[in-house]
Amino acid sequence: MDREALKNLLPHREPMLLIDEAEKVDAENAIGKYSVKGDEFFLQGHFPGNPVVPGVILCEMMAQTCCVLFSDSDNKKTPYFTGLNKVKFREKVLPGSTLEITCTITKSKPPFYFAKGVGKVNGKIAVSGEFSFALME
């Protein structure tokens, strides 16, 4: 689904809608993409003359991709981050890059969901981590 379709699913809007497209592969897996243009708000001060996508933004991109998996859930509920674990940053994500994200739900005990994600650029892992959500009213 493209950005407009994502707006029907996610509560995020510009400038915090941080994925260009995503799709649900099956009940536990989703994939997403974001192409870094270079003019994003988060690059303006990170770092002048040497722009690099901040790690926290990469984590949010993984989380938004994962939230596509809740499309069958009650859309009146909002997914809130409840934790981040074992996050690793291995490659810089720069303007002109396309981050390809895969996310998997590893465990659920509603309203809590646990997942892992990986973001790659040109086939190389740029970010990986485990995270959790609560789907709340």
In this predicted structure, the answer to whether residue 17 has a pLDDT above a threshold of 90 is yes
Q: What is the mean pLDDT of the chain?
A: 95
Across 112-132, average pLDDT: 98
**Which pLDDT score is estimated for 71?**
75
Domain boundaries of the chain, sorted by first residue: 3-136
**Which pLDDT score is estimated for 44?**
95
**pLDDT-based confidence at residue 70 (cuts at 50, 70, 90):** confident
Catalytic positions, written as ranges: 46
CATH of the domain spanning 3-136: 3.10.129.10
Across 106-122, average pLDDT: 97
Quickly count: other Cβ atoms within 10 Å of residue 32's Cβ.
26
Strands (E), 6-68: 21-24, 29-35
Whole-number percent of the chain with pLDDT over 90: 89
**pLDDT-based confidence at residue 61 (cuts at 50, 70, 90):** very high
In this predicted structure, the answer to whether residue 73 has a pLDDT above a threshold of 90 is no
Place of tokens 């510009």: 14
Across 115-136, average pLDDT: 97
